[in-house]
Amino acid sequence: MALIIVILRLLVCILAFPMFLLNFLGLWNWICKKWFPHFMQRFTVIYNEQMASKKRELFGSLQDFVGPSGKLSLLEVGCGTGANFKFYPPGCRVTCVDPNPNFEKFLIKSVAENRHLQLEHFVVAAGENMPQVADGSVDVVVCTLVLCSVESQERLLQEVRRVLRPGGAFYFLEHVAAESSTWIYFWQQILHPSWYLLFDGCHLTRESWKALERVGFSELKLQHFRAPLSWELVRPHICGYAIK
C-alpha cells in the first residue's frame, strides 16, 4: 500500500509540475499570498452555508466567558476574511491576527457588514509569535481552519495560553486527518504534497486533536464529526473549546 501511495503521489506531483516549478523558482509563495484571499472569500461563503448550524452551536457559549469589563474581548488567530464575525455576540471587541496582509481589505468589508461587533486591531503576525497581544489580555481566542496550516501547533497553542486570561477559553473548528483505515486517509496522503502548496501550507493529514490534548489546558471539550461539506477530503473535523 505504501508503494502505491508513493507512485500515485508522484503522478499527482507530475500533473502539478508547473506549481512545483514556480515554488522552486521562489515565485509561488508570492502568487499564493495574492490569490489565496480571493479564493478564501468565495470558499468561506460556501463553508459558512454548510457549517452554519455547527458554528452557531459552537459559538453560542461565547458569552459565558465575558470578563470583568462586561464586554467580550476576543482574539481571532488566522482571521482570514472575517467569516466568523456573523456568529459573534453583539458588543464583542475583536482583535484579528493573520500573517497575510492581503486579507485586510476583505476584513474591512466584513466589519462593515457586521456592525454588531467592534474591530479593535488587525495585526499582521503569525499565530506562533504575537508579541503585540499582551499576556492575559483576552477572554476568548478563536481559530477556525488554522491549525492545519501553522508551522508549529505547539507554539501557537502556547501563545494562545499566554494571551488568555485565567478562566478564558480557546475555541476551535478544524479539518483533520481521517481514520487511517479509510479511503479518505488514503487519498489525503496521496494529495497532500500538492494540496500543501496549492492551499498556502494546509496539511491534509494533521491529527490536530493530539496537540490540543498535550498543551495543558485545565479543561478540554473536543468533538470529532464529519462535516457536511462537498469536498470529501476535508469532511473529517474536530470542534470544541478548551479552558485555561
Instruction: Read off the CATH number of the domain in which 23 is found.
Output: 3.40.50.150
- The proportion of the chain whose per-residue pLDDT surpasses 70, expressed as a percent, equals 100
Give the closest residue to 233 by CA, choosing from 195, 193, 197, 201: 195
Secondary structure (3-state) at 203:
coil
DSSP-assigned letters across all residues of 87-103: GSPTT-EEEEEES-GGG
Give the global pTM.
0.94
Structural domain tally of the chain?
1
| Alpha-carbon span 109 to 213, nearest angstrom | 36
| Helical spans, DSSP H, in the chain | 2-15, 17-24, 28-59, 104-113, 153-163, 183-198, 208-214
Residue 43 belongs to domain spanning: 1-243
**103-134 pLDDT, tens per residue?**
988 998 999 999 999 999 899 999 999 999 99
User: What distance in Å separates the CA atoms of residue 200 and residue 197, rounded to the nearest whole number?
Assistant: 6
**Ranges under pLDDT 70 in the chain:** none
